[in-house]
Amino acid sequence: MVASLLTARGLNKQFRSGNQPVSVFRNLSLQLDRGESLALTGRSGSGKSTLLNILCGLEQPDTGSVQVLDEVFEGNNTDRQTEARWANLRRQQIGVVFQEANLMPALSLLDNVRLRAGLAGQNEDDCRDWLERLRIGELAGRFPDQVSGGQRQRAALAMVFAMNPALILADEPTGSLDRHTAEDVTGQLFDLQSRHGCGLILATHDAELATRCSHHLDLGHLPET
Ligand SMILES: Nc1ncnc2c1ncn2[C@@H]1O[C@H](COP(=O)(O)OP(=O)(O)OP(=O)(O)O)[C@@H](O)[C@H]1O
């Protein structure tokens, strides 16, 4: 049997507020296959970023399981072997575009893109091309702290595009972009997703962006369990 791209089953997550446990979500399950896209919506604080973090191993659920390709992760497990399996997936299969753009501060934008692109068989020209397509080609030699937040976000997208992952997780990918650039970047994101048949999960407050996804999960209105 061919495993789905991503399956999460029965995820539970609580944080503590003072002495009180506060549940972010209970018994949350979802599945995503290649070529599908899922919009996560819901009010601020409803758990979109927490869920994205759990789906790429940057946070652990209290209970529940996450399967990505043929790797299965059960419950709250932070042993070294598990961390290494998640890190390997993030290096090769899961492209992450989060609010704090995940760029290495000591590397230029170009070198950040090259870092991931090599594993996908892309060369320096391909990397420059991705930066051009995201309209930051002239900033290739700058370091992340020498460019704006929106430019960092575009560099993070270039990195993900060059990496050609099986799954892209994006947290408000257009949050710090002007409307024109946001539309351009969104177009490229969906174009890449349909051309390469990768899965895409994006958290967004933008209702129009959410309607472009094939599936929709409103974390503000999960059924009570
Ligand atoms: N490390 C933490 N410790 C305690 N509470 C946390 C922690 N991280 C998140 N939370 C709480 O968990 C809930 C979900 O947060 P999360 O950032 O996932 O929401 P979100 O839907 O992504 O919000 P936004 O739309 O504002 O980005 C919030 O109530 C938040 O305060």
Are 40 and 205 within 8 A, CB to CB? no
Whether 220 is in the pocket of ligand 1, judged by its Cβ within 6 Å, is: no
Q: Mind listing the pLDDT tens digit for each residue in 35-51? A: 999 999 999 999 999 99
What is the position in ligand 1's atom list of the atom closest to the CA of 203?
Answer: 22
- List the residue whose alpha carbon is closest to atom 5 of ligand 1: 15
Mean pLDDT of the residues in the chain = 89
Structural domains in the chain, CATH included, are 4-218 (3.40.50.300)
Indicate if the pLDDT at residue 165 is higher than 80.
yes
Q: How far is the CA of 105 from the centre of ligand 1 (A)?
A: 25
Whole-number pLDDT of residue 49: 93
**Residue 166 one-letter amino acid:** A
- In percent, how much of the chain has pLDDT > 90? 58
Does residue 20's CB lie within 6 angstroms of at least one atom of ligand 1?
A: no
Residue 90 beta carbon below 6 angstroms from any ligand 1 atom: no
pLDDT band at 186 (very low <50, low <70, confident <90, very high): confident
Q: Is the ipTM of this complex over 0.90?
A: yes
CA distances from 118 to 124, 126, 159 (A): 9, 10, 11
Note the pLDDT tens digit of each residue in 94-109: 998 886 667 899 999 9
SS3 at position 27: strand
CB of 144 shorter than 6 A to ligand 1: no
Tell me, using a 6 A CB cutoff, whether residue 42 lines ligand 1.
yes
Residue nearest to atom 18 of ligand 1 (CA): 47
Kindly give the number of the ligand 1 atom that is closest to the alpha carbon of 46.
21
What pLDDT does residue 1 have? 47
CA angle 159, 162, 168 (to 5 degrees): 70
Distance, CA of 142 to CA of 185 (rounded, Å):
20
> pLDDT > 70: what percent of the chain?
96
| pLDDT surpasses 90 at 183 | no
What token pair was written down for 190? 């969906």
Residue 211 in this model has a pLDDT that exceeds 90: yes
Ligand 1 close to Cβ of residue 88 (< 6 A): no
Q: Is the pLDDT of residue 138 over 70?
A: yes
Number of the ligand 1 atom closest to the C-alpha atom of 47:
18
Distance, C-alpha 35 to centroid of its chain: 15
> Please, which pLDDT band fits residue 93 given cuts at 50, 70 and 90?
very high
